[in-house]
Structure 1
Amino acid sequence: MLDVSTRQARAIFYNSSEWKLLRQSVLERDNYECQWCKEQGKVTTGVHSILEVDHIEELKDRPELALDIDNLRTLCKDCHNKRHDRFNYRPSKKKKKWDDEWW
């Protein structure tokens, strides 16, 4: 079974040629579009954002699915950060400039 228990082990995995080839296959399969944005009727491609390949079942929880193409999907950086509650995703609490205007 694949060892992904340490940061170094994950770095080795993500730099492997096997992962890089599979990642490219997933991007092609998903037409270089974020799958979460697509579900919401938006089109987000590599032109609009950085695209990342996400493990649906977490790598740390299910290392046996690390190279299973059915466990992978393309997400834009924003959606990937939302999915993992990462620090650089913060929903906007700021009121839009004209939200209080109703004319």
Structure 2
Amino acid sequence: MYNKNLTDSDELSRKSKALYNSKDWENIKVMAFERDNHLCQICLRKSRNTKANLVHHIIYVKSDYEKALDLDNLMCVCSACHNKIHSKDEKEVFAGEEKQKNVRVIKV
């Protein structure tokens, strides 16, 4: 679906490691948590308020490194949902929600 033809190389591993240790990543994570009200976006779709503790790349860094710091490519999730995303096929996790992936909660 979103993450076909993943590339895996030493160069990408070095770039990813540098990304996750960068100030830019720290800044964009803060922005994502604030945008999503620190709530897991998957749980929220199931009417559950669960605190998010991770920021997930919708399109993986291995699929498109250019989207690594794109706020629209990030979603806040709890550890349980993040594990489900990575342990199952994405189609199962996001079943029927293709149009809702970019829906965000707005603080009032």
TM exceeds 0.5? yes
Equivalent residue, structure 2, for 1:65: 67
What displacement does 1:9 show? Answer: 2.9
Q: Which runs of 5+ in 2 are unaligned?
A: 1-9, 89-108
Change (3 A) 1:4 1:76: farther
- Greater relative contact order: 1 or 2 (C-alpha under 8 angstroms, separation 6 or more)? 2
- Relative distance call for 1:44 and 1:64 in structure 2 (3 A) is same
The 3 A distance-change label for structure 1 pair 12 and 34 is same
Q: Secondary structure at the match of 1:84?
A: helix
Residue 45 of structure 1: aligned partner: 51
1:22 matched residue in structure 2: 28
Same amino acid, percent of matched pairs: 38
Are 2:70 and 1:83 equivalent residues in the alignment?
no
Aligned to 2:56, what secondary structure does the other structure show?
strand
Asked whether the 8 Å contact 1:57–1:71 carries over to 2, the reply is yes
Q: Residues 21 and 39 (structure 1 numbering): CA distance in 2 closer, same or farther, change over 3 Å?
A: same
- Which structure shows the bigger proportion of residues in helix conformation? 2
Q: How many residue pairs get matched?
A: 79
Asked if 1 retains the 8 angstrom alpha-carbon contact of 2:16 and 2:61, the reply is: no
Quote the offset at 1:5 in angstroms. 1.4
**Residues 1:65 and 1:59: Cα distance change in structure 2 (over 3 Å):** same
TM-score, length of structure 2 as denominator length? 0.68
Aligned to 1:5: 12
- Displacement of 1:77 after TM fit? 0.6
Q: Tell me the residue number matched to 1:36.
A: 42
Q: 1:79 to 1:11 in 2, by over 3 A?
A: same
How far is 1:36 from its partner?
A: 0.1
1:11 & 1:17 partners in 2: Cα distance? 12
TM-score w.r.t. structure 1 length? 0.71
Once superposed, which parts of structure 1, at least 4 consecutive aligned residues long, lie more than 4 Å away?
none
Name structure 1 gaps, 5 residues minimum: 87-103
